[in-house]
Structure 1
Amino acid sequence: MPNSFRAKIGNTLLHVFMILFSLAFLIPFLLVIAVSFSNEESLLKYGYKLIPVEFDLEAYRLIFGKPQQILYAYLTTSVQAVSGMICGLIVMSTCAYALSRKSFKLRRTITLFIFFTMLFGGGLIPSYILITQYLHINNTIFVYILPTLANAFYIIILRTFFQGLPDALVESAKMDGASEFRVYWQIILPLSKPALATIALFVLLDKWNDWFTSLIYIRDERLYTLQFLLQRILMEMEFLKTSMTYNVNMENVNLYKLPSESIRFAMAIVAAGPLLMVFPFFQKYFSKGLTVGAVKG
């Protein structure tokens, strides 16, 4: 059998495998979209279908029933996620740069201290006391940003990446009279885009999916994050349906048609939609940043 023919067969099998592998990720996402636009009764009757049997927007009508509240949730989530990501990158990258310099005498001690925080934490009660009684940032936008400015794992990843950069770059810059800050800002950061983009994506995902902070520290409904608001809508709807099980009358009988299934999938689309548009901008840096940070360590 000619080598060219074997190569064609191999390429064909590889393409078939990659297509099937891609469909394994794509089909569930398309199913989520289809179910979110499906009628609740058709779901109970026919099950989940890639093409809605009966097209219905009731799930989205319930979610966006109070558009102002959803708008505030999107705004709060976007502001705290983007601001927290930018501020966190600045804090963590400056810390990682200092720990990556061999001339910094305390770098081993501080690295050990940072690593220690990955193993042990103060717990919820000390954190609550610190935030509410000393910092007084509860029920403000700052409660989403300040307590999570630094993450020990991300600092170690950045430090490892910085250590992999050639020392000659720093030494030549200092010979030309560059300060530490200038070396960090104009040399180290531009060369660290893969690692920074990777950490930025992780931080953005963590903050976008945050709902626990709103549950514990926020009382103003205008400061609810999107995830917490969607969870609250779902819990209220489940409470209504459970209550009607024991108290049925003509006034609330129509509430039995609440889309308890399709609304879950609609919430997933509403919550994940913006990040699906952001992810492609990080994708080209994502794999490189993780690989280099891991191998160099």
Structure 2
Amino acid sequence: MKLNFSDKVMQAIIYFILVVLAFLAFYPFWNSLVLSFNVGSDASLGGVTFWPRAFTLENYEIVFKEKRIFNAYLITIARTLIGTLVSMFFTALFAYGLSKKGIVFKKGYMIICIVTMYFSGGLIPYFVLVYNLHLYNTFTFLIVHGLVNVYNMIIFRTFFQELPDGLEESARIDGCSNFGVFFRIVLPISGPVVATLSLFTAVGLWNDWFTPAVFISNQNLIPLQTLLVQIVNAGQTATLIENLNSYAQSTVEDSSTVKALQMATMMVATLPILLIYPFLQKYFVKGALVGSLKE
């Protein structure tokens, strides 16, 4: 279809607006990345925008030499990996049960689940509950908190309800139990929805800083995002710099700055989860049942 002059003008305006919006969204992240690779004392003079003026890796050396940051990084990785796997298992299993016909009080279970999406017991009662269950200030709490996500459960349930009955019936004829059908039939063909919800869950766990800030007081169990919030505060940053070893302290005094350390820590906390997206993007466009019924 041939475009006339007015259509071309409108198309050019739309592309221009999209480019401007993309630039406004991407530039703050790029500038933070550039500042993290620039000598702090040089960056404090201003003028560092699109490329490091005095390239250095010292900021990252200081960050990784700080034991608190390294430990928080390990806690975050462990929490994200274990929490995502456990959450996907229990959420999918719960959704699979609610997707079956003939479940007693099925509508009542759904109503109870949906109510929790709009109303909660409040932070203080939840804190008392966690404390009485002896989960306060434990790594176990970081895993079991939000173990079953109702929104993800509803997506799983809708997906399972659309699966052809013939798949499960043929498996039951071969002698599969409910768990056998779930693990051998349902989960293998649920790759796209599992990958998508796993990505959402992993991003949520990786970026969650508020929950550990309230329920974790042990500095050895604080995730990276919670520590990053503390580092952004000037007082916490000063404490952090004081805890660095002698090499790091001399480096801070000579070339690095608090701003440079903040940018480096921010990149360390952000880049890993961003790099996961390209590898899971294909699952967003895959068909859920492509090839599942082919002989």
Identify the TM-score tier after normalising by the shorter chain.
Answer: 0.7 to 0.9
Distance 1:289 1:256 in 2: 56
Deviations 1:100-158 (A, max 9, x none): 1123233222111111110101111011001112x101111111011210111010011
Deviations 1:272-296 (A, max 9, x none): 1222333333221134489x9xxxx
Distance 1:282 1:121 in 2: 32
Distance 2:49 2:167 in 1: 57
Question: SS of the residue aligned with 2:233?
Answer: helix
Q: Which residue of 2 aligns with 1:31?
A: 31
Residue 72 of structure 1, CA deviation: 1.3
Distance 1:102 1:47 in 2: 65
Distance 1:28 1:232 in 2: 21
Distance 2:26 2:228 in 1: 24
Q: 1:212 aligns with which of 206, 210, 213?
A: 210
Question: SS of the residue aligned with 2:53?
Answer: coil
Is 1:102 matched up with 2:101? Answer: yes
Q: Which residue of 1 aligns with 2:52?
A: 52
Residue 269 of structure 1 aligns to which amino acid in structure 2? M
Residues 43-82 of structure 1 correspond to what in structure 2 (within 5 A)? 43-57=43-57, 59-66=59-66, 68-82=67-81
Is 1:138 matched up with 2:136? Answer: yes
**Structure 1 gaps, min length 5:** 242-253, 293-297
Q: Which residue of 1 aligns with 2:88?
A: 89
Question: SS of the residue aligned with 1:104?
Answer: coil
Distance 2:268 2:103 in 1: 47
Percent of aligned pairs sharing the same letter: 35
Q: TM-score, normalised by structure 2?
A: 0.78
**Structure 2 gaps, min length 5:** 240-251, 291-295
Is 1:173 matched up with 2:171? Answer: yes
Of 108-117 and 210-219, deviating more is: 210-219
Of 274-283 and 138-147, deviating more is: 274-283
Q: 1:147 aligns with which of 135, 145, 148?
A: 145
Distance 1:235 1:46 in 2: 21
Residues 1-297 of structure 1 correspond to what in structure 2 (within 5 A)? 24=23, 29-57=29-57, 59-66=59-66, 68-133=67-132, 135-237=133-235, 240=238, 259-288=257-286
Preserved contact between residue 197 and residue 289 of structure 1 (Cα < 8 Å): no
Q: TM-score, normalised by structure 1?
A: 0.77
Preserved contact between residue 63 and residue 230 of structure 1 (Cα < 8 Å): no
Distance 1:20 1:159 in 2: 39
